[in-house]
Amino acid sequence: MNAVIVMGVSGSGKSTVGQQTAERLGWPFLDADDFHTPEARAKMARGEGLNDADRLPWLARLKAELDARPAGVVLACSALKRHYRAVLAGPGVQFVYLRVPRSLLEARLTARQQHYAGLSLLPSQLAALEEPAPDEGALTLDVQPEETAGELARRAVQELKNQR
């Protein structure tokens, strides 16, 4: 394993869990949000979901970053659709899907400050989401409201090590 992609919809905790997973593994952390164009950010800030045409160049930039870091990296990325994950997948890439109850997502997004992806994007994110199928080999973590990001990161690292 040389890359872990922590995936899920907006508000699932992928950035925070991803950062803490990277710390536990001793790897660098990348946030896919940092690779969006200003136009894509503006679109999301208006409450408009991104479409495939918006996402495919972004996914190509992310794949190039993953390929440039063969020694290990953790990426937080929505990776909502199977074909998005196929772009990012490769030898040594492991997906960790954070499955979060809608009520918890809504509460988190309502409380979120200073982020362009707010509650108005949740319906389009959930509509676009294709949960990883068993043949994709993703690790699915069912997130409980009382779990901290640190607990999720610990659980993710432990389960990833058990899979080896």
Residue-level pLDDT, tens digit, the chain, 164 residues:
799 999 998 888 999 999 999 999 999 999 998 999 999 888 877 777 788 898 899 999 999 999 998 889 999 999 999 999 999 999 999 999 999 998 888 887 777 655 555 566 777 788 889 999 999 999 999 998 889 999 999 999 999 988 86
Domain boundaries, the chain: 3-163
Query: CA–CA separation, 140 vs 149, rounded Å?
Result: 15
Task: Identify any residues that bridge with 139 across adjacent strands, giving them in sequence order.
Answer: 96
Query: CA–CA separation, 56 vs 117, rounded Å?
Result: 19
Query: CA–CA separation, 64 vs 78, rounded Å?
Result: 17
Residue 60 phi/psi, 5° resolution? -65, -40
Question: 12: closest CA among 83, 80, 113?
Answer: 80
CA angle 41, 32, 25 (to 5 degrees): 155
Burial of 147 (0-12, 13-18, 19+ CB in 10 A): middle
Query: CA–CA separation, 152 vs 83, rounded Å?
Result: 26
Query: CA–CA separation, 124 vs 122, rounded Å?
Result: 6
User: What was the pLDDT predicted at 140?
Assistant: 96
Tokens of 27: 């790897």
Question: 55: closest CA among 91, 80, 30?
Answer: 80
Query: CA–CA separation, 69 vs 120, rounded Å?
Result: 34
User: What was the pLDDT predicted at 43?
Assistant: 85
Q: Does the domain made of 3-163 have the CATH classification 3.40.50.300? A: yes
